[in-house]
Amino acid sequence: MMSAMKTASTPYRRGVRAGEGRNRSRRFPARTPLRYGVLAVFIALISLGLGPLFALLAPYSAYGRMVSSLLGPLYGMGNNLLARLAERSGSFAFYRVEAASLGLGALLVAGATFILLAVLAWRNGRTYCNTICPVGTVLGSLARFSLFRPRIDAEQCVGCGVCARSCKASCIDPATRRIDHSRCVLCLDCLGNCRKGALTYACKERHAPNP
């Protein structure tokens, strides 16, 4: 799943590094109600024992479904082809396996999931990871307390917005020079694209208590 999303956003990252002004990944604001709403639905489905439904939202289930439904049959056909060729040469390095028989419903769900992830990754980077995925929402909530994180040096930042355009998670606001760490996926592309060295990966600041 993550690999498919990363592959879909590769042309965009190349464009940023080449200096293109057009942002292929459209910036979108935080959808906090949507994030926690999906998480609440996910928890409710688990509590009610509705496995097939919450499996549609679980990222690991979605990945396994795409691999088994879309790549499984291709693997079986390729293996059987090699087994047939090996038999003709008197080798038993490969053996035939029974081709997986999948229903139309499983193929449609897997195909729709793949298309949805690909479109979201192409248009908005890691939208699924930090907005829809319930696991991403939980990890994002914990990331607020992380000791190390990307930081913007306000004195060196010139507000060019290159970091925001290279951010697949759309979590950087160049106007306020702030990073939404609950949505950051730590790809660290912003560090490599900042021409002024205003971004670093360092220990978060600790504010002194008020006297």
Owner of token pair 């307390």: 145
* pLDDT tens per residue across span 32-46: 888 888 889 888 888
74 has pLDDT over 60: yes
* pLDDT tens per residue across span 131-181: 888 888 888 888 878 888 899 998 889 988 899 888 888 889 888 888 888
CA distance 186 to 191: 10
118 shares a domain with 33: yes
Domain with 193, as residue range(s), is 145-204
Our count of domains for the chain comes to 2
- With 0-12 CB in 10 A as exposed, 13-18 as middle and 19+ as buried, what is 102? middle
Percent of the chain past pLDDT 70, that is, above it, reads 81
Q: Which of 127, 143, 159 is the last residue of a domain?
A: 143
Q: Which of 120, 143, 166 is the last residue of a domain?
A: 143
100 shares a domain with 160: no
On whether residue 15 sits in a domain, the answer given is no
pLDDT for the residue 210: 43
- The CATH number that applies at residue 190 is 3.30.70.20
44 shares a domain with 102: yes
| Inter-residue contact 123 to 168 (CB < 8 Å) | no
Strand partners, 150: 201
116 shares a domain with 157: no
Q: Which of 113, 143, 173 is the last residue of a domain?
A: 143
On whether residue 112 sits in a domain, the answer given is yes
CA distance 83 to 6: 34
- With 0-12 CB in 10 A as exposed, 13-18 as middle and 19+ as buried, what is 64? middle
On whether residue 87 sits in a domain, the answer given is yes
125 shares a domain with 37: yes
On whether residue 18 sits in a domain, the answer given is no
159 shares a domain with 131: no
Model pTM?
0.61
25 has pLDDT over 70: no
Show the tokens assigned to 208: 């002194």
Mean pLDDT over each residue of the chain, to the nearest integer: 77
CA distance 94 to 83: 5
132 shares a domain with 101: yes
193 shares a domain with 161: yes
